[in-house]
Amino acid sequence: MNEFKAAIKPDVSEFQLAQFQELITKLFQCCQERMQYQCERFQLPDAELRCLGLFGAERYLTAKGIALKMNVVKSRVSKIIDGLIQKKLIQSIKDPEDSRVSLLSLTSHGQKKLNEINSFLKNIHGQVLSQMAQDQRQAMLTNLDILKASMEAVKELMV
């Protein structure tokens, strides 16, 4: 594995670095706890819940496409898909243009479940935002956008 080393600008203090690392760790832990609660609430394993969420913007997905989006191997995706099919949340149909390809789509039960999950997330995110004053919300959203862009720029350096 390649070792990633990039220069840190001299104006980044040790205190800022430690504070950033601690905040990122705590945010990640908070998100993991919410995911655990969400999995229990909707009675779905984490991987199935994340896979179901991929259908929000897509009518059809393939196992290969899901594997790429979830960054897992195709054999792992097969288990996830089997679980969702058994729960009658997605269905598999043959691609009319290529019978070797199976297209996956939400069932009506799956669409209902996804709507419930999205409603839950909208409520949770709304509650988080409501903990802040309006001007704090806008500043936080702006700063999160900057953070995302910075993280993506560093990610590009890693490849």
pLDDT in tens, 22-54: 999 999 999 999 999 999 999 999 999 999 999
142 falls within a domain: yes
8 falls within a domain: no
Per the structure, the count of domains in the chain is: 1
Specify the pLDDT at position 57: 82
Specify the pLDDT at position 100: 84
Query: What contacts 99, CB < 8 A, 6 or more positions away?
Result: none
What CATH number has the domain bearing residue 83?
1.10.10.10
Q: Say which residue the tokens 């058994």 belong to.
A: 86
Helices (H) and strands (E) in the chain, counts: 6, 2
69 falls within a domain: yes
Q: Is the pLDDT of residue 7 over 90?
A: no
Query: What pTM value is reported for the model?
Result: 0.83
5 falls within a domain: no
129 falls within a domain: yes
Q: Is the pLDDT of residue 1 over 70?
A: no
6 falls within a domain: no
Domain hosting 24: range is 14-158
Mean per-residue pLDDT for 110-115? 97
